[in-house]
Amino acid sequence: MASLRTVPQTPARELDLDLEAFEGPFDLLLTLLLREELEPGEIDIAAIVLAFVERLAERDEIDLEACGEFLVLVSALLELKARLLFPDEAAELDALEPEEAAEELARRLAEYRRMKEAAVWLAERLAGERDRWFRLGPAPLALQPERRLAPQDPNALVTALRALAVPPPAVSLSHLALRFPPVSQFLERFRALLSRRRVFDFDGEVAGLSRVEQAVAFLALLELRKGGEIALSQGAPFAPIRISRIDDERTTTWTARSA
Amino acid sequence: MDSTLRLIATNPLDHLARTVEALLVVASSPLSVAELTEATEDDPERVETALGLLRERFSERRSGIVLEEVASGFAFRASREASAACARLFERPIERGLSQAALETLAVVAYLGPCSRPEVARIRGVAADSAVASLVERGLISEAGRESGPGGAVRYRTTPLFERVFGLESLAALPRLDDLGADSEQIRERLLEVASARAS
């Protein structure tokens, strides 16, 4: 079982790697990357992490120093690799000489280390302030900022109020007048027509009606078709709809033959 | 029995000091000299002098309440000798369970803020979403606009509560960043040392 005691002088760079694109110690990989002799995109960073975790598992102790160093280096490698996904970032990196790249890496590591130290300072500060107690929670009385108004002209106020006092324009209720005629009205109309004529055009019969009435008339048409009273035909899309009467005798005959 | 003659010297600022004291009792967050001046309708210098009187009156070992300068203002707190009793009765929800990740994120925002989550993640090398959400929930950081450009990320900065919890008079009380951690030259030399040792 691994124990959490620190063991100095076991650097992460001693880690032996056996990757698809590279085989050797970690510090050599770092060297090649810094010299741009190896593409970060070709390196399987997950495999590096696995190798490191396996090495940790083999040992009976955890080297916190090495773990920290490893995490920082792998994070930097991950960032380099991630940046390759973005063309602009890649161009930025390509523009860097190996020396500059090392400088940039060092600068970022230093920046992170400073923030880490600042976090330690904050933690120590917090621990030192544990005996400081003060009131927390919602304010019993919120601060009331004074509202400073510019000098006002009473006449301007009168004008503004007068504008508010004007009655609003009447609201149109015309849309409420929309009435749908009953379907039965058109059913009766079409049946009466069919009793006189065997065939007629739908468009001719509904010409002059409103759109709502035409729509209801069409529903009546579908109702008649559903009841088997008429047959519908249309020569082409948007051509006039032709309605023809179906005689009861014919229907019976056809049905009998079909059977 | 002879009566004793006493000379009672009253400070001309006593009335103002009592008013300032009352305002600080009512306030739940530190009040600046400007705010106290506005509320008392008095002179800023006289308010500062009154605050000086109150600091003497409400100081450690003289009173259970201590007047402190914190978060760019003045506020009352409990005296340190009463901290054990306070701890038995009250909790400290803001700093309880503050993780290392949250502290590092807090440090980045305190020093570089206003800054966005991607900026924090770039410095720390890991996503900062969870740490930022936790700090916002605790009230230690708050939103401070967005980065320029379309779809700019939300930026964050520390709140006055952060300064109060950490007992800082202002953000200027933080140690200088240059004084913290190893400098980039040292790290660069270490990197090149590793590289050159292998190359040879």
Which structural domains are found in chain B, ordered by start? Answer: 14-82 (1.10.10.10), 100-176 (1.10.10.10)
Query: What is the rounded distance in angstroms from the CA atom of residue B148 to the CA atom of residue A2?
Result: 49
Min Cα–Cα distance to chain B from A113, Å: 6
User: What value, to the nearest 5°, has the Cα angle with vertex A107 and ends A103 and A112?
Assistant: 150
**pLDDT interval class at B9 (50, 70, 90):** low
Q: For B166-190, how does the pLDDT look when each residue is reduced to its tens digit (9 = 90+)?
A: 999 988 888 887 777 655 566 666 6
Q: What mean pLDDT comes out for the span A14-27? A: 77
pLDDT tops 50 at residue A169: yes
Q: Tell if the CB–CB gap between A132 and B106 is shorter than 8 Å.
A: no
Residue of A77, A118, A132 whose CA lies nearest to B87: A132
C-beta separation of A244 from A234 below 8 A: no
Question: Quick one: pLDDT at residue A146?
Answer: 63
Give the Cα separation of B132 and B117 in Å (integer).
7
∠ CA B82-B85-B89, nearest 5°, is 135
Asked if B184 and A133 come within 8 Å (Cβ–Cβ), the reply is: no
**Chain A contact present for B149, CB below 8 A:** no
State whether B104 and A119 contact (CB < 8 Å). Answer: yes
pLDDT, tens digit, for every residue of B49-82? Answer: 999 999 999 999 999 999 999 989 999 999 999 9
Which of the two residues, B6 and A149, has the higher pLDDT score?
A149
d(CA B71, CA B160): 5
Where is mean pLDDT largest: A21-35, A89-103, A125-139, A209-223?
A: A209-223
Going from N- to C-terminal start, the domains of chain A cover 12-127, 181-258
DSSP string, A87-123: HHHHHHHHTS-HHHHHHHHHHHHHHHHHHHHHHHHHH
A181-258 maps to CATH 3.30.70.1230: no
Task: Give the per-residue pLDDT at A252.
Answer: 44
pLDDT digits (tens, 9 = 90+) for B76-121: 999 999 999 988 888 888 888 888 889 999 999 999 889 898 888 8
Give B 4-43 residues with CB within 8 A of chain A.
26-29, 35, 38
Predicted local distance difference test score (pLDDT) of residue B1: 47
Give the residue, B39 or A37, on which the prediction is more confident: B39
Q: Which residue has the higher pLDDT, A234 or A80?
A: A234
**The pLDDT of residue B43 is above 90:** yes
Q: Between chains, do B110 and A72 touch, taking CB under 8 Å as contact?
A: no
Question: Does the CB of B93 have a partner CB in chain A at under 8 Å?
Answer: yes
User: Is pLDDT of A38 > 50?
Assistant: yes
Is A107 in Cβ contact with B197 (below 8 Å)? Answer: no
B114 or A85: whose pLDDT is higher?
B114
Q: Output the six-digit token pair for A8.
A: 């100095």
pLDDT on residue B24:
93
Give the pLDDT score at A4: 36
Predicted TM-score (pTM) of the model is: 0.51
